[in-house]
Chains A and B, each alone.
Chain A
Amino acid sequence: MKVCMFHLMPYRELPQDFEERYRSVWVDPPVGELLDPGALNQMYHDYLTELQYGAAMRLDGICVNEHHSNAYGLMPSPNLMASILARSTRNAAIVVMGNSLALYNPPIRVAEEMAMLDVLSGGRLVAGFPVGTSMDTNFAYGVPPALLREKYYEAHDLIMKAWTTPELFHFNGKFTQLRYVNPWPRPLQKPHPPIWIPGGGSVETWEWCARNSYNYSYLNYYGYLRGQKTLNGFWSKVTELGVEPNPFLGGFAQGVAVASTDAEAKELFEEHVQYFYRKCLHLYQGFAEAPGYRTLKTWQYGSAPQLGDKATQYWKEFGWEEFLKTGMIVGGSVDRVTTTLIEAAKSLRVGHMMIGLQFGSAPHALTMQNIKLFAEKVYPEIKGLYEDEWEDKWWIKPDPVLAQREVSPT
């Protein structure tokens, strides 16, 4: 199994009464009242250090992601962060999870920036292509919801063609027309970096990943127990299409809090986990889904979040025990965390796990300690899973020399 460290880069200092005073963490939280750029300076540097530390502790990869107008995801441009990490790490995969393709105009920009990252890192880029949430794409970036997926697929076709065609070509699309497609550079990895598709429960996405042999990674905050239905849907689609059910075709994100004992984990992490779920997931329901974001097919499958006022944020009153019981958090002693993660990876049948080790308001020192314990004690026990039985065809192929290059301003 490949284990990558995931980071959202949340704002750590939302006020105590944030969820009473404001209606949403996303789209319209008033930045002038809530965000101190000086405080964010410290957070950004802490977070980059945390990811660099995860890489230095030899986790398989480090992940960045894209959100807009969001107080818990302060990476509108994940590629900026990834470029710092590409230069300041050696072995780890740089997992950009990813660029919301329909938001780049022209989307050849994604082909260019990701190729830069791949070259710079010596072939360590994992290219994530999310559709993006409705909040990011329809509300913060104004893409008409009924056009989003069509735009996304067209952008994908352009990027993949640009990466796999060494010559100049024409692209006559509906949303993008380019007389001359010839980005400099193309990626180092051939034929192209591994493609991962971070998705929700969209039926089309399952089918598309299975047909194209792209890794499908289910990213959400509800944990491995609730993720089961979605992964089951994915794997039954894989089987139905006659595709080999290689566990490395699947990925899953999970929050993990490790300490020396179960009791200590609760003591150290509970308030920060609550901060994350109560404040960072405090989403105004009006922004949850623009009309047309979800396709007719997905409506018919019924995997959807519930309708209207039933979409309650049921975790708002949760304490530590409920977070563990529902699987939203895997937390506790090394043994407990290890056992639970192996169970989760097996039941979900996923060969890639993205592990969130920083929670909401968690201070830098606590996060560093979590990374250390996880990397030293848990990771060695779980990394062997699936590796003997299956080939990971969705992993980076770094250049052995270039990826190890030492850089210093001497």
Chain B
Amino acid sequence: MSHEILTVATRGGAIRTKVYKGGSGPALVWMHGALGISQWEPHLMALSRSFTVYAPVQPGVGESEGLEQLDDLWDLTLSYLDLFDSLGLGRFALVGHSYGGMVAAEIAAMAPERVRHLVLVGALGLWRDDIAVLDYWTATPEEQARATYHDPNGMLARMVAATMPTDEQARNERIVSMIINTAATIGKFAWPIPDKGLKKRIHRIKAPTLLIWGRGDGVVPPIYAEEFAARIPGARVEILESAAHLVHLERMDRFAPLVSDFCAVGGE
């Protein structure tokens, strides 16, 4: 299914956000993880069969500009509300993965009237000393792979690895862009511990909430689904087998129908 890439100016043009948009139906917003988004990914394509999917790219990530305008997480959250206004979105479904899950939860707490349904997928935002979120950026590539994939040698891992350029210069450019994207997300808004006070605001979330985790998630262990559920009344938890942190891609067969059914308009 086709998609387009919009550039949306907010704050008098100081912030310019790329937004992937595709599909038709009620609005669904996807908030990307720490590494950003650089293409119309398969899960977006799948969701676009039932929704008009908007996937904004955070300022500082990829070609979106204006990171220096955003002082802190509060500022970032407000700037997303500006973006949604500019896009003409009234109420919408909001789905966030990992770091994007933290941002989605902040948006849903700050503007509960805007979010029709909330889906958090392997989301950051809460913290337990005894079962810490993985310090992903200091982990070895092997540790990262084990935490990210149900099968580090499986098809998804091989497909992702295959997108890495073999030419050394192109490869280095890719690595640098991944670091820069991470710097703009984790390095600015979630360092050194991704708990920035959501636990004091989370009670404001009014949207029906679905929590999707991979059973083998080693980045944000599934116990965090329970932590979110305990703080969001009525939240539903779905732990998917044969999946880890990239559950939305590893189990797209379950992920897309779960989200589509949960976020169907009239289903709240």
Contacts and interface: CB of A to CB of B under 8 A. Distances in A.
Interface string A270-285: 0000000000000010
Contacts, number: 60
A308 B175 contact: yes
Interface stretch (B108-116, B121-129, B149-157, B177-185): B177-185
A305 interface: no
B180 A299 contact: yes
A291 B172 contact: no
B139 A286 contact: yes
A142 B189 CA distance: 12
B172 A142 contact: no
Nearest to B143: A286
B146 interface: no
B169 to A, nearest CB: 11
Nearest to A284: B138
Nearest to A300: B176
Nearest to A309: B141
A400 B137 CA distance: 53
A296 B176 CA distance: 9
A287 B188 contact: no
B186 A138 contact: no
B175 A307 contact: yes
A145 B183 contact: yes
Contacts of A290: 137, 187, 191
Contacts of B179: 291, 294, 299
Nearest to B186: A291
A69 to B, nearest CB: 13
Contacts of A174: 71
A294 B172 CA distance: 15
A139 B176 CA distance: 20
A243 interface: no
A76 interface: no
A146 B138 contact: no
Nearest to B175: A307
Contacts of B180: 291, 296, 299
B60 to A, nearest CB: 8
A307 B186 CA distance: 20
Interface in A126-150: 138-139, 142-147
A146 B188 contact: yes
Nearest to A24: B138
A70 to B, nearest CB: 16
Contacts of B193: 142
A292 B182 contact: yes
Contacts of B138: 139, 284, 286-287
Contact of B140 (A286, A291, A293): A286
B12 interface: no
A290 B187 CA distance: 7
A211 B179 CA distance: 29
A201 to B, nearest CB: 15
What 3 A-B pairs are tightest by C-beta distance, nearest first? A292-B183, A292-B187, A286-B138
Given A146-B191, A286-B137, A291-B179, 4 more contacts: A144-B187, A144-B191, A292-B187, A292-B191
Interface of A: 138-139, 142-147, 174, 284, 286-287, 290-294, 296, 299, 307-308
23 contacts: A138-B191, A138-B192, A142-B191, A143-B191, A144-B192, A146-B187, A146-B188, A147-B188, A174-B71, A286-B138, A286-B139, A286-B140, A287-B138, A290-B187, A290-B191, A291-B180, A291-B186, A291-B187, A292-B184, A292-B187, A292-B188, A299-B176, A307-B172
